Amino acid sequence: MGASLGRILVADDESKIRSFVGRALNTAGYDTDFADNGAVALRVARANHYDLVILDLVMPEVDGRQALRELLATRPDQPVIVLSCVADVMAKVEMLELGAQDYLTKPFALAELIARVKARLRAEPVHPPGEVIRAGGVALDVSHMIADIGHGPVPLTKLEFLLLRELMDHVGASVSKSRLFASVWGYDCDPGSNVIDACIRRLRSKLGFDLIKTVRGEGYQLIAR
């Protein structure tokens, strides 16, 4: 048996979901732990290191929303994929703005879940310590995922960092959502997803609302300064 590709916590109160998701992840090369309610998920995720947490929203004791909020308050860089029967757009936006990296609605195809897991856990290039790139009035410390627009350092999540870096690579030009999906999320564009919009809103709230322009019908543009 080869080395594990990562350790994943699957938190869902449905035993059938835990079982078939766990088997699929194990077959794909990942180690898995399980939690059957939000309180257990929160306790286990805080006590151990997980490369990824797959989190249901509707669970007993502590629901997924609260578990996500409390987990990211103490571990802001913890990658989380929300897996839920709640298909409401506002629920998706809320979870993404809280910091979830992805949101997949039940029922789902295992192949799509595994593809999204692989995209979240793909290896990132190693950057030299202290490397800083500059574009559009932004200085980005790529080793520590910290941005500075002249008002002091601002820590970014991994997704925020990857999205900003992609926009910086094309400063002054519109970058389509499909390109952002491919380069940052690692899979084809999902027309019903709000992940890019939510991440852009978080970047604007951290770095300034006039930094990134929405190009209607096209995508987003980092303003050249």
pLDDT digits 0-9 by tens, 53-91: 999 998 988 888 899 999 998 888 889 999 888 877 778
Q: How far is CA 192 from CA 27, 89, 179, in A?
A: 29, 9, 16
pLDDT of the residue at 144: 84
Q: What confidence tens digit (pLDDT) does each residue in 117-136 have?
A: 988 887 555 556 678 999 98
pLDDT of the residue at 16: 93
pLDDT of the residue at 197: 86
Q: What is the spatial distance between Cα 204 and Cα 221, in angstroms, rounded to a whole number?
A: 12
The DSSP secondary-structure symbol of 107 reads S
Q: What is the spatial distance between Cα 195 and Cα 192, in angstroms, rounded to a whole number?
A: 9
Please name the helix (run of DSSP H) or strand (run of DSSP E) that holds residue 147, with its range, or none.
strand 146-148
Q: How far is CA 93 from CA 79, 192, 197, 201, in A?
A: 16, 11, 9, 10
The fold adopted by the segment(s) 7-121 is Rossmann fold (3.40.50)
pLDDT of the residue at 89: 77
Using a 10 angstrom Cβ sphere, with 0-12 exposed, 13-18 middle and 19 or more buried, the burial of residue 207 is buried
Enumerate the domain spans of the chain: 7-121, 132-222
Mean pLDDT by 10 residues, the chain (225 residues): 82 93 93 94 94 92 90 88 84 82 87 86 64 90 89 88 91 88 69 76 91 90 86
Q: What is the spatial distance between Cα 223 and Cα 135, in angstroms, rounded to a whole number?
A: 9
pLDDT of the residue at 36: 93
Q: What is the spatial distance between Cα 93 and Cα 153, in angstroms, rounded to a whole number?
A: 26
Parallel, antiparallel or unpaired: strands 7-11 and 31-35? parallel
Q: What is the spatial distance between Cα 165 and Cα 104, in angstroms, rounded to a whole number?
A: 25
The fold adopted by the segment(s) 132-222 is Arc Repressor Mutant, subunit A (1.10.10)
Q: What is the spatial distance between Cα 186 and Cα 166, in angstroms, rounded to a whole number?
A: 13
pLDDT of the residue at 180: 86
pLDDT of the residue at 190: 59
Using a 10 angstrom Cβ sphere, with 0-12 exposed, 13-18 middle and 19 or more buried, the burial of residue 83 is buried
What 3-state DSSP class applies to 208?
coil
pLDDT of the residue at 139: 93
Residues 6+ apart with CB under 8 A from 88: none
7-121 and 132-222, same CATH topology: no
pLDDT of the residue at 122: 74
pLDDT of the residue at 94: 82
Q: What is the spatial distance between Cα 141 and Cα 187, in angstroms, rounded to a whole number?
A: 26
